[in-house]
Amino acid sequence: MRRPYILLAAIATLISLVLLLATVGSLAQLYSATAAISPLLAQLVLAIVLLLLFAALAVVARYAWLFLRPKRSRTITLPTAPDEVAAVSLQAAQQQVGQIEDEIARQALAIRSEELAKRMAQQTFQVVAFGLGSTGKTALVNALVGEMAGQVAATIGTTQKEHTYRIALEQGKEILLTDTPGLLEAGVLGEERAATAKALAARADLLLFVIDNDLHRAEYEPLQMLMKMGKRSLLVFNKCDRYLPAEKEQILKRLRERTQTLLQPEDIIAVSALPSPVSLPDGTQLQPDPEINPLIKRVLTILKKESGALMASNVLLQSEQLSEEARTLLSTQRQQQAETIVDRYQWVGAGVLAATPLPVVDMLATAAVNTQMVIELGRVYGIEVSIEEAKALAISLTKTMAGLSIAKGAMKMLAVGLQVNIATAVASKLVQGASAAYLTRIAGKSFITYFQANQDWGDGGIQAVVAQQYQLNRRDEFVKQFLRHAVERLGK
Ligand SMILES: Nc1nc2c(ncn2[C@@H]2O[C@H](COP(=O)(O)OP(=O)(O)OP(=O)(O)O)[C@@H](O)[C@H]2O)c(=O)[nH]1
Ligand SMILES: [Mg+2]
């Protein structure tokens, strides 16, 4: 208990004791005074007073309990294990992907999310070799896989497409080892390949960043970027056979210094994936074996100690990216659907008002906000708006439009646009219809903003949103185009 409470409790106990003593004293006095008249009456009075006292105490105790009882808090158990968090995030991303209507975009994202789910389920560890052209990525991947599967050549740009190999491990686990095209190739094709390589690197659980000398600036920047992204990486210094031992140590020392803030020293590994052939005295050429054991050992250690956490954090990262892409696509899709609804509704009321013989300036705002439109717009954003809610929303928007005198302003502007005299404008059916359509548009656009912001009018409230939409839809170009449509639709 904290100090102020202890003090309070002590004071309360003291007061209660004093009151109790006073009550007992008074009761004793009352009893003896009444007993002098009649002992039976005294007992009766005492019993009644005690009963009342207990009743009062019970009431006080009940209310005290209501206030002081420990509040039961609703606890929601959130997943805390990395793989559970990743699974939840992936599920959320998949749900968003499912809502995308564009077939091609949905398929592309769905394939990625399925791959992620599969990798999570199968415990497939993805290792990607990445680096500048000709640093020996393919040679390294081949050496690692233990077979000469790729084509190894001295020119930059040998690997044109990524290539993935499966390496089976015990307990059904496996490593997917991916060879990527080199960065820094000339031309558009080179840029495209570099982009593919970067995308693949971003998907890796473990990255083998292959270099063949001290770090190039073109290498340092992507390495730094990937490390900041939290990508687990090993810096693989390949082609060590080309250097004398002292030179090799010198380069390794410099590498360690330059990547001090990015990498652990044990994550910088010197290898020779495909050492140059050696000429023997008899003139024959001998192909030395690759020297990649330290790298294999390091990869296996990481796999043993960190693979679970690495895969989980990678799935999390990727499902977040997937989610982000899906969200962007969904938002564009919803915007288009919502605009189509507004386009449809704006001409519905317009026709009716254009056919009305009387001037209807004041009716315009009311007629413009169609409750059905509000319901349909809500649905686009996944919000079920009841008729009552839609009516209430429509009323507040109508009031806002009336308050801002938008109906009159719009009518005047459109009349000018249609070059109708203001005096006869009110009578002009075309202006009337066009104004209704225009106001429906402002209302619809305002509701789109409201639903986009999760049913929130924002800091400036409904007025600010409506005023902003009015401003946005007043641009000359837009009004001209709008009037052309109006004449086409209502002129007949
Ligand atoms: N001396 C030596 N040469 C190597 C070593 N590893 C690769 N090379 C040579 O380096 C050149 C390029 O090797 P690749 O494996 O094709 O390089 P890469 O990084 O895949 O190249 P791109 O696919 O074009 O990006 C080839 O001539 C290889 O023989 C090595 O450990 N030592
Ligand atoms: Mg290659």
Relative to the CA of 290, which ligand 1 atom is closest?
31
Dist. CA 190–CA 277, nearest whole Å: 30
Residue 162 main-chain phi, psi, to 5 deg: -65, 155
Identify the pLDDT of residue 189.
63
The residue-averaged pLDDT of 104-127 equals: 86
Q: Report which protein residue has its CA nearest ligand 1's atom 7.
A: 136
Dist. CA 491–CA 347, nearest whole Å: 12
Q: What is the pLDDT of residues 166-208, one digit of tens each?
A: 887 777 777 888 998 887 655 566 677 777 778 888 888 999 9
The residue-averaged pLDDT of 12-32 equals: 86
Span from the CA of 274 to the centroid of ligand 1 (angstroms): 7
The proportion of the chain whose per-residue pLDDT surpasses 70, expressed as a percent, equals 87
126 with 321: CB under 8 angstroms? no
Identify the pLDDT of residue 154.
45
Q: What is the pLDDT of residues 211-241, one digit of tens each?
A: 999 998 888 888 888 888 888 999 999 999 9
Residue 490 confidence (pLDDT) above 70: yes
The residue-averaged pLDDT of 253-271 equals: 94
Identify the pLDDT of residue 149.
39
Bridge partners (DSSP) of residue 165 are 177
Residue 369 confidence (pLDDT) above 60: yes
Q: Which is higher by pLDDT, 122 or 460?
A: 460
The residue-averaged pLDDT of 346-350 equals: 79
Top-ranked range on mean pLDDT: pick from 144-153, 340-349, 382-391, 413-422: 382-391
Identify the pLDDT of residue 422.
57
Span from the CA of 179 to the centroid of ligand 2 (angstroms): 7
The residue-averaged pLDDT of 131-137 equals: 91
Q: What is the pLDDT of residues 68-90, one digit of tens each?
A: 765 554 455 555 677 788 888 88
Span from the CA of 325 to the centroid of ligand 2 (angstroms): 30
Q: In a 10 Å sphere around its CB, with 0-12 CB exposed, 13-18 middle and 19+ buried, how is residue 299 labelled?
A: buried
Which CATH superfamily does the domain covering 83-275+287-322 fall into? P-loop containing nucleotide triphosphate hydrolases (3.40.50.300)
State the pLDDT confidence band at 389, using cuts at 50, 70 and 90: very high
- H or E stretch including 306? helix 293-354
The proportion of the chain whose per-residue pLDDT surpasses 90, expressed as a percent, equals 29
The residue-averaged pLDDT of 397-413 equals: 83
Span from the CA of 188 to the centroid of ligand 2 (angstroms): 18
| Mean pLDDT of the chain, nearest integer | 84
Dist. CA 455–CA 150, nearest whole Å: 56
Identify the pLDDT of residue 271.
96
Span from the CA of 180 to the centroid of ligand 2 (angstroms): 7
List pocket residues of ligand 1, CB cut-off 6 Å. 133-139, 152-154, 156-159, 181-182, 238-239, 241-242, 272-276
Q: Where are the alpha helices (DSSP H) in 175-244?
A: 187-203, 217-228
Q: What is the pLDDT of residues 25-61, one digit of tens each?
A: 888 888 888 888 888 888 888 888 889 888 888 888 8
State the pLDDT confidence band at 355, using cuts at 50, 70 and 90: low
Identify the pLDDT of residue 363.
60
Antiparallel, parallel or unpaired: β 285-286 and 268-270: unpaired
Identify the pLDDT of residue 40.
85
Identify the pLDDT of residue 133.
87
Alpha carbon distance, N-terminus to C-terminus of the chain = 82
The domain spans of the chain are 3-68, 83-275+287-322, 333-490
The residue-averaged pLDDT of 247-257 equals: 95
State the pLDDT confidence band at 456, using cuts at 50, 70 and 90: very high
3-state helix, strand, coil in the chain (%, to 5): 65, 10, 25
Bridge partners (DSSP) of residue 49 are none
* Nearest ligand to the CA atom of 142: 1
Give, for ligand 1, the residue of 132, 138, 193 to mutate: max count of ligand atoms closer than 8 Å to Cβ: 138
Span from the CA of 141 to the centroid of ligand 2 (angstroms): 9
Identify the pLDDT of residue 147.
46
Q: What is the pLDDT of residues 421-430, one digit of tens each?
A: 655 655 577 8
Identify the pLDDT of residue 148.
36
pTM for the whole structure:
0.62
Residue 140 confidence (pLDDT) above 90: yes
Identify the pLDDT of residue 341.
94
Give, for ligand 1, the residue of 128, 130, 132, 135 to mutate: max count of ligand atoms closer than 8 Å to Cβ: 135
Give, for ligand 1, the residue of 152, 161, 191, 240 to mutate: max count of ligand atoms closer than 8 Å to Cβ: 152
State the pLDDT confidence band at 328, using cuts at 50, 70 and 90: very high
